[in-house]
Amino acid sequence: MIPLRDLNPSRRFPILTFSLIGINVLVFLWEQTLSVQQLQAVLLRITVVPAQLTADPFSVEALLDSVRSMFLHGGWAHLLGNMLYLYLFGDNVEDRLGRPLFILFYLVSGFAAIVAQVAIDPSSPIPLVGASGAIAGVLGGYLVLFPRVQVRGIIPLGILFYPLKLPAWVVLGFWFVVQLFNGAASLAPDVGGMGGGVAFFAHVGGFVIGAILMWLFTMVMPQPPEEERNEMLYERAQRYRY
């Protein structure tokens, strides 16, 4: 299922979510100005390369590389897929956490995702790029906060598209299972632990940490009663009709 919208209005304009999307798009457009050789050299110099990170994991440069890696992408499909999920699910997580906590939550999820992938393949010479790990944390947090919110999307069937509405726990739970399955498959000897260039364990690590952090947040900051949440979620439901 390709998600297109969630029935979950936010109370405030998601300025950080849109800012993150804008920065990612601008950085990717800058990437397009470089030749293939230049881009490869840049990625090796300013992003996380597991083989380099494990040699000096606690340096300032390692920290900067980790942050920069979260804003670079390997292609249009990589960028657009990540930005779609951030656009759909980031606004409500930002709304619930508040802006300072949201950006901290996003970055910590991204760092955890990098650690998870490097732990799986510490000798890899391939740069880790993309916002996928941080966004996976957002998805994990959304699942904890809004498991029953309805998500509308489409299932491609050849040249046809079948519309579908499912609860968030099904959509995001299925996404996580797919990442976990593909990650396990990538460990097969003939794949070499790289999963075809996709850092599946970064997705898994980011999602798990995001869910844990959000669960801890709900313990410290109890959520509104279900009746109040439902009233907020569905009072403007007419905006979400097909």
DSSP letter assigned to residue 48: B
| DSSP 3-state of 146 | coil
Neighbours of 192 (CB within 10 A): 12
What gap in Å lies between CA 112 and CA 99, rounded to an integer? 20
Q: Respond yes or no: is residue 203 known to be catalytic.
A: yes
What gap in Å lies between CA 87 and CA 73, rounded to an integer? 16
Marked catalytic residue, from 69, 109, 124, 132: 132
Token pair listed for 33 = 């100005």
What gap in Å lies between CA 141 and CA 157, rounded to an integer? 30
What gap in Å lies between CA 218 and CA 80, rounded to an integer? 31
Count CA atoms closer than 13 A to 40's CA, side-chain side: 5
Token pair listed for 127 = 């740069």
Marked catalytic residue, from 78, 109, 124, 203: 203
Q: Cβ-count burial of 5 within 10 angstroms (0-12 exposed, 13-18 middle, 19+ buried)?
A: middle
| DSSP 3-state of 58 | coil
Q: Which residue, 48, 18, 28, 204, is CA-closest to 124?
A: 48
Active site residues: 132, 203
